[in-house]
A and B are shown apart, each in its own frame.
Chain A
Amino acid sequence: MNILVGLINGMIAGATPIMLGALGGSFTFYAGVFNIAMEGMMLTGAFCAVWGSYTFHNWFIGILCGIAGSLIMALIFILFAIVLKTDEFITGIALNLFAAGATVYMLRQTFQVKGAFSNPGIIPVPQIHIPLVEKIPILGEILSGQNLIVYIAALSVWFCYWLVFRTRFGLRLRAAGYNAACLESSGVSVSRIRVISLLLCGVLCGLAGAYISLGYVNLFVEGMSAGKGWISLAAIILVNGNPLGIALISLIFGFFDGLGLFLQGTGIAPQFTAMVPYLATLAALFVYSTRKKKRQSVSWT
């Protein structure tokens, strides 16, 4: 039973950053922005969160700094892709490069270290213990005692679903991706909708970044987003952006992530266990592609 609880908790920990990143990306997906900068936004968020938490000795300011850092990346994306009309794919790649370079540079510049920065001064995001639920035998260990950002992620799923499918903004958001000319001619600025979608993506990716650095490891390592932004992108494509689908597919990816960690104790080489999430992404893409063949798909390339 302990193994099962461990696996489920590993699944939740692995799923959280992917879920937050993918929910952010789903806004831009619906708005018709080809946004591949989630990886860079998460990485910047992770760095800024550590910086904020260390400088102000406060995890809450750390989260805010992470969101702010990610928002700066979103603003650069807006400047180039929306204002200057640079190709979105190229802007995204350049932003990811920029995030990778800037975090390494800032790591050296502000903390005088190379590679990784860990310090007891970094305050982690706390775990939340829910008073009564905690007492339930097995469920309590899963439902209670998770990291604060995990709960935020779970709430974000419902929030995103509500925003996209139940509000006027959501209707306009989907219209911007479905038929931009039509939306424009009915008097709504498509650019403004896309700007808002990118800002929302920035906030959620910042949270994902804060979780990566302050959630379970409490340090910053160069390139620590490790492809999570790309897996988020794959998740969005697999479920066509639907927030509930994203929650499900993120949990599946998270399960394989947790499984990889779990298998480390079994004598399988660590490199192979670390491969599991990427192989799972390929497998998911395989299932999706073979099932999709009949359906008309949104072209993403």
Chain B
Amino acid sequence: MIKKLVTGLMGVFIALLLGAVLMLLQGYNPLETYAALFQFSLLRPTPLATTLKNSVPLVLTGLSASIAFASGAINLGQPGQLLMGALAATLGGIYLDLPAPILIPVLLLLGMLGGALWAGLAALLRLAFNMNEFIVTLMLNMIADLFTAWAIAFPFMEKGANSPRTPPVNPAGWIPEIGGINLSVVIMLVAVAVSWFLFNKWKAGYEWRIGGQNSLFARLGGCNTNKNFTAVMLTTGALAGLAGCLIILAGPHRFLRGLGANYAWDGIMVAIVANNGIIATLLYGIFFAAIQTGALGMELVTNVPSEISLVLQAVLVLVIVASRGLLETIVDRWSLRKRVRGPAT
């Protein structure tokens, strides 16, 4: 655990250093830029609350990808599942008239259902026709993107709006803020905790993990790998759908055009950097949300364009992943040396 933390922090540090070199090459002051970046994301209370709220979709889609990858299901469909979940929750929120304590859970369930069904379609195609879920989920992303674009432009478009968007959802379905912190953050933390227990403590999670490491062994050991695959796809789809639902209910309260473009590959990015660990997904999700959130503030005080955060993210992913193996060897050797010397001195 400590080893992971140390290597993770070293990886982040090296990546930030490389980012600083890139900024120097472009003629910007890296210290000033980083100071502004983190001031507008983590170091002040109001930006911190925004960062946490923005981290919700990253962490949830990251969880979705982490659990899928660790279980051996190549679910790359988080963007599509997120959109379908968001659309389902939006439609529920427009047409259902219920008091808030009932409406919010119903909408959360609708969002999860929307995502799970979209992922379930990929699972069905895999099980019935042996179609590779890797390509299927990618194509379903494009289709979901176009389908939701159609849904908000034709049947569910707000009357008189200039650009395609749905009318706002019933205000009873809006997720409230308490003490400046949006409650969607709490829901996210609950989802992380449940996922952690499910994946690390429950029998189902054990079977999933074994299936991810060696599916032949899992099958010989008596696991129903097809059933597990379906369960993994539905669960991870539901997590991505929940992310979409929370974006709508905590943020714009309606489905706007281009909603999905911002979250396209973020979940997969976080899962890769976190090496499919659940706690690591939470931490890296918040960290990447901080970079995205801080970038806008950074643009205001320095003259560095906010788009540099996109480049910085990609550098972080490549460097953290590439350095992981190397750093772990170094830390291992270092702790071994310490242990060997320990009793002698």
Contacts and interface: CB of A to CB of B under 8 A. Distances in A.
Given A272-B150, A275-B142, 19 more contacts: A80-B322, A84-B326, A93-B317, A94-B318, A94-B321, A95-B314, A97-B313, A97-B317, A98-B317, A102-B314, A104-B307, A105-B308, A230-B135, A269-B154, A279-B139, A279-B143, A282-B139, A301-B132, A301-B133
A230 B138 contact: yes
A94 B132 contact: no
Contact of A98 (B143, B307, B318): B318
Interface of A: 76, 80, 84-87, 90-91, 93-98, 100-102, 104-105, 108-109, 223, 226-227, 230, 233-234, 237, 269, 271-272, 274-275, 278-279, 281-282, 285-286, 289-290, 292-293, 300-301
Contacts of B321: 86-87, 90-91, 94
A98 B305 CA distance: 16
B19 to A, nearest CB: 12
Interface of B: 26, 74, 125, 129-136, 138-139, 142-143, 146-147, 149-150, 153-154, 261, 264-265, 268-269, 272, 305, 307-308, 310-311, 313-315, 317-318, 321-322, 325-326
Nearest to B146: A271
A101 B311 contact: yes
B269 to A, nearest CB: 6
The residue among A95, A104, A275 with the most chain B CB atoms within 10 A of its own CB is A275
A145 B134 CA distance: 38
Contacts of A272: 146, 150
Contacts of B326: 84
A91 B139 contact: no
A237 B149 contact: no
A80 B317 CA distance: 12
Nearest to A112: B305
Nearest to B138: A230
A93 B313 CA distance: 12
Contact of B272 (A94, A102, A104): A94
B113 to A, nearest CB: 22
Contacts of A290: 129-130
A101 B318 contact: no
B314 A98 contact: yes
A300 B134 contact: yes
Contacts of B269: 93-94, 97
Given A97-B269, A97-B313, A275-B146, A282 B136 contact: yes
Contacts of A100: 264-265, 310
Contacts of A234: 135, 139
17 contacts: A84-B322, A90-B321, A94-B317, A94-B321, A98-B314, A101-B313, A104-B310, A105-B305, A223-B261, A234-B139, A269-B154, A272-B146, A275-B142, A275-B143, A289-B130, A289-B132, A300-B134
A84 B321 CA distance: 10
Contacts of A86: 318, 321-322, 325
Given A93-B269, A271-B146, A275-B142, A105 B310 contact: yes
A50 B146 CA distance: 27
Contacts of B308: 105
Contact of B149 (A87, A233, A271): A271
A237 B315 CA distance: 29
A21 to B, nearest CB: 14
Contacts of A109: 26, 305, 307
A138 B135 CA distance: 38
A101 B136 contact: no
Given A98-B318, A286-B131, A278 B139 contact: yes
Contacts of A104: 307, 310
A86 B324 CA distance: 9
A76 B154 CA distance: 43
Nearest to B321: A90
B318 A80 contact: yes
A285 B317 contact: no
Contacts of B74: 301
A255 to B, nearest CB: 17
Contacts of A292: 130
A12 B105 CA distance: 51
A93 B154 contact: no
A208 B168 CA distance: 42
B131 A285 contact: yes
Contacts of A108: 305, 307
Nearest to B305: A108
B273 to A, nearest CB: 9
A97 B150 contact: no
Nearest to B142: A278
Contacts of A85: 325
B310 A102 contact: yes
A105 B311 contact: yes
A233 B318 contact: no
A288 B136 CA distance: 13
A280 B132 CA distance: 15
A286 B136 CA distance: 10
A272 B315 CA distance: 36
Nearest to B265: A97
A109 B265 CA distance: 23
Nearest to A227: B142
